[in-house]
Amino acid sequence: MNAKIKNVLEWVYCIVIAVVLALLFRYFIGTPTIVQQVSMNPTLVQDQRLWLNRWGRTIKKMPERYDIITFEAPSKTSYNYNEIDQSNPVAKYDNEPQGLWNKFTYYVLEIKKDSYIKRVIGLPGEHIEIKNGKVYVKGEELQEDYLQQGIVTDSLVFDDFVVPEGYVFAMGDNRNHSTDCREFGCIPLEKIESKVWIRIWPLNLFGKVK
């Protein structure tokens, strides 16, 4: 093998290793993202840049109340009362890709994969009620200082239930313009992708997101 071919192969090996390491870091540790919707206003605004912490997914850690998380969008996001069971308030995921390559492109490269950003409100085993424009957890009104003044929480489809074990109930801060667990049910831990950690743009708002 001449020196020129050897040098080319060494560069190829280096590039392949760098790509693999980058993908591993992105999947297991963290990655940047851009806010694309208005459902988390005023906490998160369109076009802001965020850093997502994915270590919680790696170690399968249940998020805490008030954490802002990203999760895979359910396969169906809208129901009416005749289609749901309040005793089994779980989101449906029927779009599981088939085949190793399809799973790699969907879960690792995230091609054709939709995700939502919402705030965790209810944890496993908690009784959630949405009534009179408020959220009640285990019978107590939830204090939500992050909401804009005058915002009410409308009761949609899932409004009186117990969060199943291994699931969370999440909603957007911009309640009137958020498609969330009120419409499609609770999210299983295995579909939670990351926790929103730091706002990195704009610079004047740089810092930990709460």
pLDDT grade, residue 45 (50/70/90)? very high
pLDDT confidence of residue 5: 80
Which band of pLDDT confidence, cut at 50, 70 and 90, is reported for residue 156? confident
Range of weakest confidence among 6-15, 72-81, 147-156, 162-171: 6-15
pLDDT value at position 159? Answer: 92
Q: Where do the domains of the chain lie?
A: 31-208
* Mean pLDDT in residue range 194-210: 94
The dihedrals phi and psi of 87, each to the nearest 5 degrees, come to: -80, -10
pTM score, whole prediction: 0.92
Q: Can you tell me whether residue 124 is helix, strand or coil?
A: coil
The answer on pLDDT for 1 being more than 70 is: no
Query: Model confidence over 62-121: pLDDT tens digits?
Result: 999 999 999 999 999 988 888 888 889 999 999 889 999 999 999 998 998 999 999 999
* pLDDT > 70 in the chain, percent: 100
> Averaging pLDDT over each range in 1-15, 50-64, 79-93, which range is the top one?
50-64
Distances (CA, A) of 175 to 50, 53, 122, 127, 190: 21, 24, 15, 20, 25
Containing 136, the helix (H) or strand (E) segment is strand 134-137
Spell out a b/e string for 19-30, using b for 16 or more CB atoms within 10 Å of the CB, else e.
Answer: eeeeeeebbeeb
Identify the architecture of domain 31-208 in CATH: Ribbon (2.10)
